[in-house]
Amino acid sequence: MSDSPVIKTMRVVPVAGYDSMLLNIGGAHNCYFTRILVILTDSAGRTGVGESPCHASTLALLARFRPQIEGSELLRQNATIATLFASDARHQQTAHTDNIHIPQMNPEKFYNAAAAIEAALLDLLGQHLNLPVAELLASGKQRDRVPVLGYLFYIADRNLTSMNYQAGHAGGDAWLQLRHEKAMDADGVVRLAEAAADRYGFRDFKLKGGVHHADVEVETVNALLTRFPQARVTVDPNASWSLDEAIYYGKQLAGRIPYLEDPCGAEQGYSGRETLAEFKRATGIPVATNMIANDWRQLQHALQLNAIDIPLADPHFWTMRNAHTVAQLCHEWGLTTGCHSNNHFDVSLAMVAHLGAAAPGDRLTAFDTHWIWQDGQQLTLHAPQIRDGYLELPEGPGLGITLNMARVEAAHELYNSLPDKNRNDALGMQFLIDNWSFDAKRPALLR
């Protein structure tokens, strides 16, 4: 197309930020988290950006894709993305396995790379057409704000480590202080929820489980429900409960929670899709997942078994267009749209805002976001805002954000200073438990 802008440059910028000692089945979050920015410039002088999880494999893929992106026509971006998929047959394998937080082979990383490129291309296209990205996804913009939940974690005592975890801001906003402090029981998590609700107005909360014995985690959920009787509260054990445990504790929570996320997984020769189907039949509790329906083949089998109700289609693992297609299927087939999250910067926050704004229908559960743990580390001039429990769609065309290049370069320098750049949640955990190692079927503190 002679009138199409052409992609002139593609810059891949790995960046790092600070995190709290958040516990999960994979261990303890490192004091640093890493991401990748893909920054595209076109012949019209515009800049587009996308964000993805960071791994050496993803960086290698992006370097390999650069010659296919530079020189491509912006208005032919669908063909460009299709060329990336056609160039690497490995994307057809399973994209996301049950062994979370353990580095996988390139299929998952392929989607991470493709998602960041696609988001940057959509950002440029929206600017070219003077439309928000939400209008470019098939359903078009449906809403101006997206419900998001308060994502709560047990937090270990950073003072037991020699790692560079940050301290809170005493005397200021309670959330900005408490998110760095020890919170290992129900009372501590409730204090976190109170501070997060005060700052962000959350009406929904999710507790990251897979840390304590299920008794403790159910007690924490009950404490949250007592403190916030009108709130929607759930827990994500990351499939660390057995099917029998999931049914037992699910029956205790039935009627009080809106859904459970991945309460159980593969065991005794049965897949996670089969055990979740049995869990649903035994308890009647809707199931959300980011573990057993993360590509089209997995989703097909999960739906055939009636194993899930809420596919958490993360645009970083599906791409924005594919995640939106999942949202369309949810709307047409009576399922509920949701979105998974990892630690992220505000470029990803904008990507999620546009995905949610374009999701059709009114069957949306509050989207996951880790942003509250990184709030204050913005890489854009004006980060999307969370108010009254909703993530507001940025104003302006494209993703509606502009990079703060001074902050981007500082985050890049921090990344370059790290001795280990890939995620390793076992490192911090080994300060708490000698020789700790990951076990997908055992909560992190049960060793």
What is the per-residue pLDDT across 300-346, written as a single tens digit (0 to 9) for each?
999 999 999 999 999 999 999 999 999 999 999 999 999 999 999 99
- Give the number of C-alpha atoms closer than 13 A to the C-alpha of residue 140, restricted to the C-beta side: 1
121 has pLDDT over 50 = yes
Q: What confidence score (pLDDT) does residue 351 get?
A: 99
Measured between alpha carbons, how far is 14 from 157 in angstroms, rounded to an integer? Answer: 28
Dig out the tokens for 72 from the structure.
């491509």
Mean pLDDT of 357-373: 98
Q: 103 pLDDT exceeds 70?
A: no
Give me the architecture of the 136-392 domain, per CATH. Answer: Alpha-Beta Barrel (3.20)
Q: With the CA atoms of 273, 274, 279 and 280 taken in that order, what torsion angle do they form, in degrees rounded to the nearest 10?
A: 70
Residue ranges of the annotated binding site are: 236, 267, 290
CATH 3.20.20.120 in the chain is located at 136-392
* Whole-number pLDDT of residue 94: 45
> Which pLDDT does position 406 carry in this prediction?
99
Distance CA 424, CA 428 (A): 8
Please say if the pLDDT value at position 152 is more than 80: yes
Q: What is the pLDDT of residues 250-277, one digit of tens each?
A: 999 999 999 999 999 999 999 999 999 9
Selected catalytic residue, list 29, 208, 331, 354? 208
- Look at the domain 7-130+405-417 and name its fold: Enolase-like; domain 1 (3.30.390)
Quote the tokens at residue 253. 């929570």
Q: 34 forms bridges with which residues in the sheet?
A: 16
Indicate the DSSP class of residue 90: G
**pLDDT reported for residue 190:** 99
- The yes-or-no verdict on residue 228 having pLDDT over 80 is yes
CA dihedral 242, 243, 249, 252 (to 10 degrees): 180
pLDDT score at 336: 99
Mean pLDDT estimate for the chain: 95
| pTM listed for this prediction | 0.95
Residue ranges of the chain assigned to CATH 3.30.390.10: 7-130+405-417
Report which of 214, 21, 210 is spatially closest to residue 99, judged by C-alpha positions. 210
Residue 182 appears among annotated catalytic residues: no
Q: What is the pLDDT of residue 97?
A: 47
Could you report the per-residue pLDDT of 22-70, keeping only the tens digit for each? 999 999 999 999 999 999 999 999 999 999 999 999 999 999 999 999 9
Q: What is the pLDDT of residue 172?
A: 80
User: What is the per-residue pLDDT for 107?
Assistant: 78
- How many C-beta neighbours within 10 Å does residue 100 have? 20
Active site residue 421: no
| pLDDT above 90 (res 89) | no
Contacts of residue 219, Cβ cutoff 8 Å, sequence gap at least 6? 186
- Flag whether pLDDT at 92 surpasses 50: no
pLDDT higher than 60, residue 423: yes
3-state helix, strand, coil split of the chain in percent (to 5) is 40, 20, 40
